Each structure stands twice: as structure tokens, then as C-alpha cells.
Amino acid sequence: MRNDLHLLLKRHWKVDAFRPQQREICESILSGRDSLVLLPTGGGKSLCYQLPSLLFDGPTLVISPLISLMQDQVAQANARGIKSMALGSQQQLDQQLDNAAYGNYKLIYCSPEKLQNKQFTARLTQLNIHCIAVDEAHCISQWGNDFRPAFLKIKNLRHLLPQVPIIALTATATPQVVNDIATSLALNDPALFQSSFARNNISIAIDQSGDKLGRIYQVLKDEKFASIVYCSSRRETQSTQQFLHAKGLKADFFHGGLSEVEKKDKLLAWQSNQVPIMVATNAFGMGIDKEDVGVVVHLNLPASLEYYYQEIGRAGRGGNPAKAILLFQPQDAERVKQQYLAQLPSKQVLQQCYKKLCNYLNIGYGEGFEQSWELSFSDFCSTYSLPAKQTASCLQLFDQAGIFQYTQSNKREAKLQFLCSVSQFKREIETAKRTASVLFQTIARLYPGIFEHEIKIDLDRIVEKSQLSFPVAVKLLANYHEQAFLHFSYAKYDVKLTGLVPREDSYSLRPLLEDLHLLHRVKKEKIDAIVAFAQNNADCKQRELLAYFGEQQKANCGNCSAVSCDEKVEIDLPELQKKILDLLQVNPLSAHELKLSLAGEESQQLGLLLETLEATGKIKKNTFDQFYVA
């Protein structure tokens, strides 16, 4: 089996060696044992269930909280040659389940809310499921970072599929959350795989500079590697990007309100280092596995230490030294409380918002299940004179509680008709500038009936096919509309909602209203924790972060901005040599993997000690370029 796993790893992932604990986790799943996996961001969690799926006769069911995360993982798995699908709407479900039953799929992704669908659960037993993977498993705990009540329904699969092992995976879990995961999923004597949360190659700094933008420029102006600057609002991403651009740095911005084409283009430009600096909200992060990120800067405090840990974990994934800089001023403590706590809605506000939303969408009693709507958030707020920030909090809670699936987008519903004759259209293609010619030919190919009547068009698809930028395409259509060459109109929708339960005013909200006090309390505790982390510059930041996740580190890291780490740490070389041998006694490790396991000052001595140990015959290298004890 070990040889099979290695062959599949090389064939589908194009790498020669497992990351720490990956092979042991795969073997645990293949043995049929429940497993609980805590690996840091970038630790390769998805491989731990995707690779074993290739050795099963039937598919692995993957339960994931975010549609965009599912779509990203399905695309990556299919690109590796692992046949995968993500279950969609009710209309698609029958066909998709037929395909899953007879199409030799290895991975089937679904949201936890899908388990409330009786048609779906009734057919699960026919799919020969061999493993259940629960991704982002911390969502099952009310004390977790993104609690979703629908995760609590997963344990019902134990009755449907009693012999199928469950693997629960997360990158951010406190000890209390770990206990909740095991209990709430009814895991049976699970094998626990827990990697250290330490990011020893990342230097953590709390920077109290009075000029935040000036400090960002100073940090990034000579940076040779890719960088990310996290901001707490869309407006700040654009203003910060403009500041850096004016200073001569190549930077772009990214947030959840961009179209899918814009997101894709910006991500590709950053990944290829055409634009090395990305200024973004926390919408930027999913699916990012770039090894050469040298700096992550936080312009503002994030909403929790969990988010902070995930975001700094996007730096230094290749094992090279990296920096995480949190810019903090005293007034930021009050700002983050106002941003995340002051807008928390009361029970009455939630009830009113729900009722007005149902009226706005024309949802009758007993209706709305698995229906979808696109709307303008500002229009909804203005229609009922609702405060925007508090209303946004309501929508987020409706999503969290499994009432509506809430997605922010930047979709334009566009309609178009050519008012010219076909001969005029052909002449325009021949004489117009190249951009207009390419755009019109693309539209004519995609929508052949567009001369006879007005047609709803997909601007994102047109932009992708024509390879023009979104603003250029819209401006061209608007100009030709003014010339009466065509009729073009579009409305901007920035919210998509999907009903996850039928409308029942007295019932639908009940679980959320009952849990509201606890949800507010957890949110406050997380804000208090991130504020305390930023305010305390006396204690080692690495140790403080690890302690939050229940991990004790005896020594200071010697690699952060804390006063206690200012003095250079003296390294006991014989003790470090013993530490290296102890690590290699457990598993063969590459130099890079060893580096990630050592503190910053220790890792600087690694090369010399490996040479000494190899020269004296105490360690050797295997065919995968890993060291092991001779």
C-alpha cells in the first residue's frame, strides 16, 4: 500500500515526497479508522482524503461549507486526473446523482445543508460511499471561527452509512473546538493527527508606526518576493493600491465585489509575479498555494486570531524566511469593536430583516426552499430604510444559520440587441477599431438571434471569450448604445441568495434566535483576543499565538518584535543535533520539512548540522531526498 500511495502521489501531484503526516493520515483512512486532522494552512489537508479516494472502489463524500471552495477544489482535482463533481441545485441533483452512481467519480463535494434534502440522503446509500471527509470541521463548533449549525446534521450519516470512516480536517481549532468536533461528529476512537501550529520561518511583528501607508511602502519597496496587504474594507484595498502605484510599485487590489473574470485575471497576474503586490480583503486567500510569498501585511486588525493565523500562513510556504507585519495604533482597538461588535443585530432586528427580505423577494409562506435570487443590496436597504452595516450582519447570520446561502458578487444582468442591419454590422466589423470588431464578432457567435430581439447576455463570458477587459467591453457597448447602433442595458446585482429552508416566520429563525446570545459572546471573545494580541508587545508573539491554539512552546522564538525576543537566542548545538535526530527517528524528512519544525534561530544552523551528521554517518538520504537516521 505504501508503494501504491507513492506512485499515485507522483502521478497525480507530480511530487516525490509526502509532507509531514500526510502518508500516515492516508493509511489511517484506508484502514477504515475515523481520523481527526489538524494541519496548518498550507499543510496539504486536501491530499489526505483525495489520494486515498483513488484506491477506493466507490467515491469519497466531501462536505465543505463554501461553494467557491468546493468549485476550486473540484477544478484542481479534475486537473490532476481525479474525477470529481460538486453537487448543485435541486434541478441538477437527479442527473448528478445518476452520474455519481455510474460515472466512476472519486470525489463528490456537497454543502452541509444538502444533508437536509431527503431525496439526497435517500440516494446516498446507493452510491457505495467509502469515506466521508468533513472539510473546515471547526464550523461544527459554536466556539469555532465560522460556526454553521448545518454541520451538526453530519452525524446523522452515521445511521445511514455506519461502516464508513469519517475524516475531519481543519487548520484552526482551539482545544475546546477539537473536543466539539470529535463529539459532534460522533467520531469512533479517532486517530488524531496534529501538526505544530508554529510558523518558525515567519517573523511576526506588531508595528505601531503612526504612518501606516508610509510603513507599507518602506516594507515593500525592496521586497524581492510576492506580497499580500490585507485590509478590512473594499474601499481601503483600492485606496492603498493607488497609494502604492503612485509610489512606483506594481500593485493590484482584490475583493469580493469583483466579477469572476476580474478575480481570475488579478489572481493569475499575481501568481505569475507580473503584479507582485496584492492589496486585498480576506476574500483573497482561497486556493492560494504560492510558495514565494515573502511578506503579509495587515493594515487593520482581522476579526479573530484564527483569521490572522490563516492569513499570515500564506507567507513562507516554501520554507524560506518570511515576515508577517500587523500595523496597529491604539485607536484600532475601538475601530475593530465598532466594525464587528457594534453592528451585531438584536433578535428584533433579525426578525424584521427576515420578514422584509421575504417580502422584497416575494417569498410566500412555505415557499423559498432551493430558490435563488439576485438583488442589489443598496436597493434592498433603501427600499426599507435599513442601516447597511447591520443589515449585512443579518445576511451573514442568515447564511451562518443555514436559512439563506448568502454570496457577495458583482454580477451585471445585461440585455443587448443590435438595431443595425446585418450588412451595417459587417461593415462596422471591417472598419471599426480592433477592440470593437473582436467584441462584436464574439457577441454574434455567442448569440445568433441578437439582431431579431433583445437577449440577456453574460458579460463575464463575453469578456472571457473576447479577451478584452471588462471596463473596455462595457464602455464600447455604452458608446454604441448612444449612437443607436445597438440597445444595451444592465443592472448591477451584488448579492445572491439561495433559500435553504421554506419560509416559516415563527420556525425558520428559531434556532438562530436561541443561539444569538452565545454567538455574540463568542464574537466578542475573539475580538478581545486579537486586540490583546496586538496590544501586548512584551511577550513572544509566536508563543502567544501557539498558546491560543492550546500548544505550549517553552522557549521564545527569538524572531518576532516582542521585547522578550529582542536579545539574540543562544543555540545549544548538541541539543539541536539531538532534536534533529529525534525528528528523523519518527519520519524521514527533507531539509525544507526540518526547517519548518525548527525555531528561526535554530533553522539558521540547520545546513551545517546536516552536513556534520551526514559526514559522520549518523544520517543518510533516501531516493526522495529525505534524511533518515542511519
Residue pLDDT, tens place only, 592-609: 777 767 765 566 567 767
Q: Which of 38-42, 391-395, 422-426, 482-486 has the lowest mean pLDDT?
A: 38-42
Average pLDDT over residues 300-319: 90
Residue 491 lies in a domain: no
Same domain? For 164 and 234 the reply is no
- Give the integer Cα–Cα distance in Å for 177 and 170: 10
Average pLDDT across the chain, whole number: 87
- Give the integer Cα–Cα distance in Å for 242 and 219: 16
Q: Please name the amino acid found at residue 457.
A: I
Q: How confident is the model at residue 460 (pLDDT cuts 50, 70, 90)?
A: confident
CATH of residue 217's domain is: 3.40.50.300
Same domain? For 145 and 122 the reply is yes
Residue 176 lies in a domain: yes
- What pLDDT does residue 342 have? 87
- Give the integer Cα–Cα distance in Å for 244 and 212: 12
Residue 550 lies in a domain: yes
- Give the integer Cα–Cα distance in Å for 267 and 275: 9
Residue 235 lies in a domain: yes
Same domain? For 98 and 164 the reply is yes
Same domain? For 318 and 351 the reply is no
Provide the edge-to-edge strand list for the sheet that holds 107-110: 84-86, 107-110, 60-63, 131-134, 166-170, 35-38, 191-194
| pLDDT(491) > 90 | no
Same domain? For 72 and 128 the reply is yes
Select from 565, 585, 612 the last residue of a domain: 565
Same domain? For 395 and 460 the reply is no
Same domain? For 269 and 292 the reply is yes
Residue 190 in grid coordinates: 479517532
Per-residue pLDDT reduced to its tens digit, 332-349: 999 999 888 888 899 999
Q: 272 Cβ partners below 8 Å, 6+ apart?
A: none
- Three-state DSSP at 37 gives strand
Q: Please give the residue range of the domain that contains residue 521.
A: 338-410+496-526
Residue 490 lies in a domain: no
Residue 400 lies in a domain: yes
Same domain? For 23 and 172 the reply is yes
- Give the integer Cα–Cα distance in Å for 146 and 519: 10
Same domain? For 291 and 350 the reply is no
Same domain? For 69 and 183 the reply is yes
- Give the integer Cα–Cα distance in Å for 394 and 353: 7
Q: 33 Cβ partners below 8 Å, 6+ apart?
A: 165, 189, 190, 191
CATH of residue 505's domain is: 1.10.10
Select from 143, 176, 194 the last residue of a domain: 194
- Give the integer Cα–Cα distance in Å for 430 and 423: 11
Average pLDDT over residues 344-371: 92
Residue 489 lies in a domain: no
Number of domains making up the chain: 5
- Three-state DSSP at 192 gives strand
Q: How confident is the model at residue 505 (pLDDT cuts 50, 70, 90)?
A: confident
Answer for the pair 33, 190: CB distance below 8 angstroms, yes or no: yes
- What pLDDT does residue 524 have? 93
- Give the integer Cα–Cα distance in Å for 205 and 527: 19
Answer for the pair 475, 350: CB distance below 8 angstroms, yes or no: no
Residue 415 lies in a domain: no
CB burial of residue 570 (10 Å; 0-12, 13-18, 19+): exposed
Same domain? For 174 and 231 the reply is no
- Give the integer Cα–Cα distance in Å for 489 and 43: 47
Q: How confident is the model at residue 324 (pLDDT cuts 50, 70, 90)?
A: very high
Same domain? For 36 and 171 the reply is yes
